[in-house]
Amino acid sequence: MPSALRNLYFKSTAFAGIAKIFLAVSGVITIWQLNLIMSKDDFGAFMIVFSLYQIIAATLSTLFQSCILYHVPSDESTAKTDIPHPIARAGMGLSCVISAAIGILCFVGAPFLAGLFNKPDLSLWFAAMAGFIPAFTINMVLTSWHRALQNIDKLTLYNEILPSILRIAALASLGFITHSSHLFTWVGCAFIASYLIPFAALYIQTPLRPSLNWRVFSAWDVKYAAQSGFGQLVNKSTRNLVIVLSGALASTALTADFAIASRFGQLLLIPKNALVQLLTPRIRAHLKQNNRTALIDEYRTNQALMLCATLCGIIAFILFSKPVLAQFGDYGQQTYDILILLSIASLLRAAFGDAGGFIAMAGHAGWALITHTVSFVTLLIGFIYLVPEYQGIGAAYATNIAVLITMLSITTIIKKKNTYALIAWPEILTLILTTCTIIAFTHTNTSALIAASACAAICCAYIFIRIKSVLHFFSLIKNKVS
């Protein structure tokens, strides 16, 4: 691998890794703060409302983001000037109006929404958090305009870092100034302000004057936006969807257990999320050049790193997560078992490598949408049948099954259309053995030390098989540091 590529991998992965770690850690801190100032049932109720509103806001903002990201960079008359593109202005104006209207409807219809979940106490949370929908949406649309203008620093700062810092600061103050009877109001204000303040600060620097001229959107734009919004719903909103489904089918306490476990489980995705930042566009480059050998070598190297890092994370979870979970409140063995079982989903994603990026870069967007839709339906069916009977454990299994179907579907499509095998026998064997170990551990009286030792042995065996790829990566880091 050329030295220039070494440096590119090191810089891109290091930067992405630091950003992902910051966001993951800040998310865990936020959850810890919420559990300090509210009961487990209140936290479960909050997570149901927050997850549903985030699905709505993310899907709505995607409708306008997709058009902005498509049109603005390709229009030379506005891309390199201070004149906002008409699509960007219309997206800003329409997103403000529509998101505000939805927020008002949610505020007024809070009792109705709570009734859908058969949980009347949710009404206060639905009303208090209604402003989150417009706050999140308009901030996403404004920062997506900067993304289209390639102002990535502003995108990261105002869409990710500042909201996280403001949430942590606001929740820290709530422990001193709130009373339990007004808790929902103050928490709602904290989350709404965490997006409104960055939006206001960025808007003052670079105003994007809103317009309500919907005619600038062609019929093709509307279709493209609808496809993007649906893709956001069935693909990227899964993390929030499982919490909403848990809230609809189980108690708020169980929802709190699953929410805590799923948020901790996101930590296992940090290595993969960091590596794919550069791997995904390089897959496209290799496919375009028909460089089969280089693509397979680079894919296998990254795949090995993802899987090894995830296995190490699972071992750490088995050994240390139980006492850590206890620091968040009344989260015991059930939360621990859900967390360990959910780690199988992260293991699946790592074992198959950047499957999602591969199918996108190979130009099979339609097939990708179909696979995610099938996974989405599988998740719904799994929750409906498994959660009422098996509670949090059933939710974990439903999530794992949906991820497995997604990965197998993508792998089959790539194998047939591009003749690439995304997963080889070392990854398959490692995946099967680790999954069996995790299931046996959570359903028997096996000690954590024995389970962790078994996973460590599996990891060592896998490293031995893929030793060349792993040592190759470490040599890159060594050369960079030296």
Interacting residues of 416 by C-beta distance below 8 A, sequence separation 6+: none
Q: Is 270 helix (H, G, I), strand (E, B) or coil?
A: helix
What whole-number distance in Å separates Cα of residue 435 and Cα of residue 424? Answer: 17
Read off the DSSP letter of residue 216: G
Q: Can you give the pTM of this predicted structure?
A: 0.84
In the structure encoding, which two tokens stand for residue 388, read together?
Answer: 């009422």
Render each residue's pLDDT in the chain as its tens digit; 482 residues: 555 555 555 555 555 567 777 888 888 899 998 988 888 899 999 999 999 999 999 999 988 888 888 777 655 555 555 567 788 889 899 999 999 999 999 999 999 999 999 999 899 999 999 999 999 999 999 988 887 776 767 777 888 889 999 999 999 888 766 555 678 888 999 999 999 999 999 999 988 888 888 888 888 888 888 887 887 787 777 888 999 999 999 889 999 999 999 889 888 988 888 787 677 777 877 787 888 877 888 888 889 989 999 999 999 999 999 999 988 888 888 899 999 999 999 999 999 988 887 887 777 777 888 888 888 899 999 999 999 888 889 999 999 999 999 999 999 998 888 888 888 899 999 999 999 999 999 998 889 999 999 999 999 999 998 887 667 655 654 554 44
What whole-number distance in Å separates Cα of residue 128 and Cα of residue 87? Answer: 32
Read off the DSSP letter of residue 327: T
In the structure encoding, which two tokens stand for residue 424, read together?
Answer: 């080889």
What whole-number distance in Å separates Cα of residue 36 and Cα of residue 34? Answer: 5
**Closest CA relative to residue 247, chosen from 394, 49, 60, 438:** 49
**Closest CA relative to residue 54, chosen from 152, 257, 195:** 195
Residue with the two structure tokens 């790539």: 414
Q: Is 80 helix (H, G, I), strand (E, B) or coil?
A: coil
Interacting residues of 15 by C-beta distance below 8 A, sequence separation 6+: none
Q: What are phi and psi of 72, to 5 degrees?
A: -60, -50
